[in-house]
Amino acid sequence: MQFNSVLENVTTYEAGKPIELVVREFGVNPKDVIKLASNENPYGTSPKVVDKIQELAKNMFIYPDDSMFELKEALANKFDVTSSNVVIGSGSDQILEFCVHAKCNENSKILMAKTTFAMYEIYGKQTGSTIIKTESDTHNLEQFSKLYKEHGADIIFLCLPNNPLGECLDKDDVYEFLETIDSETLVVIDGAYQEYASFKDEKKRIVPKNLIETFPNCIYLGTFSKAYALGGMRVGYGIAQPDIIQTLYKLRAPFNITTLTLAAAIEALKDEEFVNDCIAKNFEEMQRYEEYAKAKGFEYIDSYTNFITLKFGDKYISKQVAQELLQKGVIVRDLTGYGVNAIRITIGTQEQNSKVFAQLDEVLEKLK
């Protein structure tokens, strides 16, 4: 059977391995599995959100409010914009998909960092677009500028902070770069981890209202999957000028967000104390990973997220390290597929991290 020929060059996104897989393949007790591969909030969801979901579970037979009025109003209030500036998606990656399909075709070009969120390239290739990448793994704006001058771009993706590496550009440097971009180029600022970056360093903070007013060709993306601990509910949002939002809505299927998802996101926004507490704990525990890396002589990328990237150089092979940890019930992300000899570890709870260090010690000793 013949399919769209552009799909021949599209690779399937590989999500973090589930706990169930480790239990099935290695016989590890489910209670002993530590999943630190998908950058979920290890402290779980706000109790207030859980209470609300239990209260409304009886209504799951009813279609959700397709206008998403209450959630859009809550986000508009949080970011000091209007609901006409907001689009809601099933995770922020659905809005990435909207952006690419709204702007691109087989004659289009998309510019991104060499090592960044894989779905940018996957969605781009689905439209037949040409993918242009920097030579540097991390975001290097000099290289972005050079490539943009040489090739142009219909879309530029900036992941701030960057997944899967964790680095983050300063806001002032981003704005200086954006001033050189043509108004017909759509710039996607992926802020999935912005809550973490702005907590650690105010210079990294991207304010959506200021961004879209200063640069009307930009869209800011946020998610409830990380700091708000709603990865299993799948809800994200985009903030942009109304003309961009109206165009993206033409690609949105009805009821793309569930009744319970809407309720969870609305309630999560009310509990900022819980979110800030989780973020503070995240960076306290991250210091332990930094100290561990220094003690072992590994490089690590200064992270503005809820994960850290450990680079092994010529000491170890990351794929082997990740596989050995997996057999012990510790799920981390091997970055070999990105062309980097490193593993990405979500920052867990204090107890989880202590177990990871112990297991990692055993694995490194075995692989010497």
CATH classification at residue 71: 3.40.640.10
Q: Which residue has the tokens 């055993």?
A: 362
Q: How far apart are CA 96 and CA 89, in angstroms?
A: 9
Q: Can you give the pLDDT at residue 27?
A: 65
Write the DSSP assignment of 184-241 as a string of letters: TSEEEEE-TTHHHHHHH-GGG---HHHHHHH-TTEEEEEESSSTT--TTT--EEEE--
Q: Can you give the pLDDT at residue 42?
A: 95
Are both 28 and 66 inside the same structural domain?
no
pLDDT at 313 over 90: no
Q: How many domains does the chain have?
A: 2
pLDDT at 245 over 70: yes
pLDDT at 68 over 70: yes
Contact (Cβ atoms closer than 8 angstroms) between residue 240 and residue 212: yes
Q: Where are the alpha helices (DSSP H) in 228-317?
A: 242-249, 259-270, 272-296
Are both 58 and 158 inside the same structural domain?
yes
Are both 68 and 197 inside the same structural domain?
yes
Least confident of 58-62, 225-229, 279-283: 58-62
Are both 314 and 238 inside the same structural domain?
no
Are both 361 and 351 inside the same structural domain?
yes
Are both 180 and 265 inside the same structural domain?
yes
Q: Can you give the pLDDT at residue 13?
A: 65
Neighbours of 13 (CB within 10 A): 12
DSSP 8-class letter at 156 = E
Contact (Cβ atoms closer than 8 angstroms) between residue 33 and residue 22: yes
Across-strand partners of 334? 343
Domain hosting residue 355, numbered range: 5-45+273-366
Query: Tokens representing 90?
Result: 């099933």
Are both 265 and 342 inside the same structural domain?
no
What CATH number has the domain bearing residue 25?
3.90.1150.10
Which residues are CB-neighbours of 337 under 8 A, at least 6 positions away? 14
Are both 202 and 346 inside the same structural domain?
no
Contact (Cβ atoms closer than 8 angstroms) between residue 229 and residue 43: yes
Are both 19 and 160 inside the same structural domain?
no
> What whole-number percentage of the chain has pLDDT above 70?
95
Q: Where are the alpha helices (DSSP H) in 42-193?
A: 47-56, 69-79, 92-103, 118-126, 141-151, 171-178
Mean pLDDT for all residues in the chain: 93
Q: Can you give the pLDDT at residue 92?
A: 94
Q: Can you give the pLDDT at residue 26?
A: 62
Domain endpoint, select from 240, 271, 302: 271
Q: How far apart are CA 197 and CA 91, in angstroms?
A: 20
Q: What pTM does this model have?
A: 0.92
Mean pLDDT for 139-159 is 97
Q: Can you give the pLDDT at residue 17?
A: 64
pLDDT band of residue 123 (cuts 50, 70, 90) is very high
Domain endpoint, select from 271, 287, 313: 271
Q: Can you give the pLDDT at residue 21?
A: 65
Query: Tokens representing 33?
Result: 């599995």
Are both 339 and 190 inside the same structural domain?
no
pLDDT band of residue 277 (cuts 50, 70, 90) is very high
Strands laid side by side in the 218-223 sheet: 86-89, 236-239, 218-223, 186-190, 155-159, 109-112, 130-133
Contact (Cβ atoms closer than 8 angstroms) between residue 35 and residue 20: no
Domain endpoint, select from 220, 244, 271: 271
Cα 101 to the center of its chain, rounded Å: 20
Are both 74 and 93 inside the same structural domain?
yes
Rg of the chain over all Cα atoms, to the nearest angstrom: 21
Which residues are CB-neighbours of 283 under 8 A, at least 6 positions away? 196, 199, 200
Are both 12 and 133 inside the same structural domain?
no
Query: Tokens representing 275?
Result: 């979110």
What is the per-residue burial (b if ≥16 Cβ within 10 Å, else e) of 263-288? bbbbbbbebeebbeebbebbeebbeb
pLDDT at 16 over 90: no
